[in-house]
Amino acid sequence: MAVLRKAPAKQCSLDPVPTWLIKQLSGLFAPVIANLCNASFDQRILPVDQKRAITRPLLKKPSLDASDINNYRPISNLSFL
């Protein structure tokens, strides 16, 4: 429960529930999330939904040439869970 409360409030459009709501109701969600994680570890399977990410290019430094593709790095936005 404490881990959920301390987690950053970042959110991804892939999240089915807003991060702030999960954090606010961490007492309710913590056992469910723990069961999902433990089942995933026991079965050695990561659900397909948890394998997706939204990846966007980000300029490494503002001073670099934005027209050069080598000046970008990929940033993956993952689901909160």
Task: Choose among 22, 3, 1: nearest CA to 11.
Answer: 22
Full DSSP string of 27-48: HHHHHHHHHHHHHHHHHT---G
Backbone angles phi, psi at 47, to 5 degrees: -55, 145
pLDDT in tens, the chain (81 residues): 788 888 888 888 888 889 999 999 999 999 999 999 999 999 999 888 888 999 999 999 999 999 999 999 999 998 887
- So where are the chain's domains? 2-78
Amino acid 10: pLDDT: 86
Amino acid 3: pLDDT: 86
Q: What predicted TM-score, i.e. pTM, was given to this entire model? A: 0.67
Amino acid 70: pLDDT: 96
Backbone angles phi, psi at 52, to 5 degrees: -90, 150
Amino acid 30: pLDDT: 92
Phi-psi label, residue 18: left if phi above 0, alpha if psi -120 to 50, beta otherwise: beta
Task: Please give the Cα distance from 18 to 38 (Å, whole number).
Answer: 22
Amino acid 34: pLDDT: 92
Chain centroid to Cα 62, Å, comes to 25
